[in-house]
Amino acid sequence: MKNFFLILLCIPIFSIGQNENTKNQSKNKENKFSFHSDGPYIFFEKNKLVEKGIINGEVYLKDLDLNVYDSTYNIQRSNYRNIDNIAALSDIHGQYDLLIELLTNNKIINNDLNWDFGEGHLVIVGDIFDRGSKVNEVLWLIYKLEIQARKMGGRVHFLLGNHDYMVLQRDLRYINSRYRISSYLLGIPYDELYSNKTILGRWIRSKSTIIKINDIIFTHGGVSNEFLTNYGTDLKKINDIMREKIDISADKMKDDEYDLYYGIKSLIWYRDYFKEYGENLTNSDVTKILKQLNSKHIVVGHSSNEEIIGLYNNKIFGVDSSIKLGKYGELLFVISDRFYRGKLDGQLSEISK
């Protein structure tokens, strides 16, 4: 009996110690992510929108009226003519701060981060997603600028690149560690933060992969002769085909579908214009491709260089200026049929043949 009472006396003490350990573990978990903030991610839920985000490690939810954002996004045209001012860049990869500096110094946006390029067209030639830590910030900025540009007679074109498709198709190998934390805290897989049930997800799914402005083709990787043989030269039709399987993961694709999105001759993976990356095409090879497209130039990203470069007597322009490294970047300007590098400090330098 005496031993029984001793056991009873010990139980509360053990329980108190166990509860205290649980509290400490919970507190440690909260402190571990107190540095972390992210969002907003805005979801469609029945007859409302729900904003989800994280502030100092704490998840918040906020109901919004449906009319706060558009719920449908019209597909933009694939061809534009008589555009006097064009600016292009690519492979931002979440480098929000560097992007702001580049766009501000080159007068694409003002100091309040609003559109300042008038009736000009800004083309983002793929790859906002992956690598960097401020992908969501870049997406919301481009979302806003697209609306503002249209009101002023200009346009913003966000063309999808290989990394943008990879995220939508659930290949998350290259996402920044910040987004693994966000996914964990929100309890939502990262790709579902941009699903068709979200504002940004629906907006992204309306985007093109290839467009033509004046006599210039824009696409992320490049246009191969093999691609044109398989899919033709109707840009609208090509963009429609690219959208059809946008939500199918690579492991569930048929062979022809896989080649469309992941093949080395596809629009978003092609590198053969650059001798250090691919086959190093001849001038006549490039001329043949351009003739089929009824164009004079192709602007691509995907293949990184230290600055914007012109190849094949300026038939090809590479606009991946390694913004992804977070140190430097440039814009390509097309002004009255002349081509310029817009440097990080805002200085223009004409690109000679």
Q: What is the 3-state secondary structure (H, E, C) of 223-286?
A: CCHHHHHHHCCCHHHHHHHHHHCCCCCHHHCCHHHHHHHHCCCCCCCCCCCCCCCCCCCCHHHH
Residue 82 CB coordination number (10 Å): 6
Q: Which long-range contacts (CB under 8 A, 24 or more apart) does 238-241 make?
A: 238/78, 238/209, 238/210, 238/267, 239/75, 239/78, 239/208, 239/209, 239/210
The CATH superfamily assigned to 79-350 is Metallo-dependent phosphatases (3.60.21.10)
Q: What is the pLDDT of residue 25?
A: 39
Structure tokens, 29: 């978990």
Q: What span, in angstroms and rounded, lies between the C-alpha atoms of 318 and 182?
A: 34
Q: What is the pLDDT along the chain (353 residues), one digit of tens a residue?
A: 434 333 333 333 333 344 444 344 334 445 689 999 999 999 999 899 999 999 999 999 999 999 999 888 999 999 999 999 999 999 999 999 999 999 999 999 999 999 999 999 999 999 999 999 999 999 999 999 999 999 999 999 999 999 999 999 999 999 999 999 999 999 999 999 999 999 999 999 999 999 999 999 999 999 999 999 999 999 999 999 999 999 999 999 999 999 999 999 999 999 999 988 877 799 999 999 999 999 999 999 999 999 999 999 999 999 999 999 999 999 999 999 999 999 999 999 999 98
Predicted confidence at residue 20, as pLDDT, reads 44
At residue 273, what is the residue type?
Y
> Domain extents for the chain?
2-68, 79-350
173: number of Cβ within 10 Å: 8
Reduced to 3 states (helix: H, G, I; strand: E, B; else coil), residue 162 is helix
Q: How far apart are CA 40 and CA 324, in angstroms?
A: 23
Q: Report phi then psi at 254, rounded to 5.
A: -75, 165
Token duo for residue 9: 């006396």
pLDDT of residue 15: 36
Q: For the chain, first and last CA: distance in Å?
A: 100
